Amino acid sequence: MNPLEFPSLGQTWINLVYQTLQAGVAMSNEGRELLGVTVGFPAAGGADPLLEQFGNPEMIAEMKRVFFADGPNALGHSYASLSRGPGGRSDLQDVISMLRADPWTKRAALSLCGPSGGLVPCVNSIQFLVRNAEVRTFYFARGQDAFQKFYADGLCLGLMGQKVAEELGLRQATSPVSLLPATCMTVTCRPLAGCWRARRMFWGAAPEQGGSDARLVRSPALP
């Protein structure tokens, strides 16, 4: 499968959901699964019209708590408490120090390990590289919910890359965030079919709002 890379996170998200629905394999009655996905999107934190129109602001807010706060959240887990950098820290300072000392290093990475009991985070590792005076962010995920959570993860990963770039005095706005292959993308079809955001994404905008740029990747029907 060719990498999915588009000029915005919103475009990447919509095309990823579309590809998962079209090329994914049915998982009993759970949804569809697409393996070995590679995506890329800009880490810029500016306006993204597609996310503003179709994204769930509550999911974005909860995911920010997952990534950046130790307290409780609606998703029930905290990447902030599970992540460890090369020096054992979870605040990116050891990553930043390593890149400042050796911009060519490939060891500036976070690992995320769950507690005992078989609970494994969806995002497993995040790596930061400095190349051509820019910070590039790569991550590996054992699996992601393409429709409900991918874009929220992407926003948070972009913010992490921006923090590293700012503290190093480097550019970040044009640097992509890349999801490494061998990842399992899933779309749970029942909630998707009943969600007004999904209906607008894939069947077009509501009548009172006319057309939508997102319609270029809409599917005529959901499985």
Q: Please report the domains of the chain, with CATH numbers, ordered by start residue.
A: 4-190 (3.30.572.10)
Distance CA 61, CA 165 (A): 23
Three-state SS for 31?
Answer: strand
Residue 182 has pLDDT above 80, yes or no: no
Distance CA 40, CA 53 (A): 21
Supply the pLDDT for residue 196: 54
In this predicted model, what pLDDT tens digit does every residue of 102-157 receive, in sequence order? 999 999 999 998 776 767 888 999 999 999 888 999 999 888 888 888 999 999 99
Supply the pLDDT for residue 195: 57
Helices (H), ranges, the chain:
9-23, 49-54, 57-68, 79-82, 93-101, 150-168, 189-193, 196-203
Q: Span 91-107, mean pLDDT?
A: 96
The residues, ordered by sequence, that sit 6+ positions from 181 with a Cβ below 8 Å of its Cβ are 36, 37, 38
In this predicted model, what pLDDT tens digit does every residue of 64-88 receive, in sequence order? 999 998 877 777 788 888 899 999 9
Residue 60 has pLDDT above 90, yes or no: yes
Distance CA 102, CA 196 (A): 48
Residue 211 has pLDDT above 80, yes or no: no
Percent of the chain, pLDDT > 70?
A: 75
**DSSP class of 196:** H
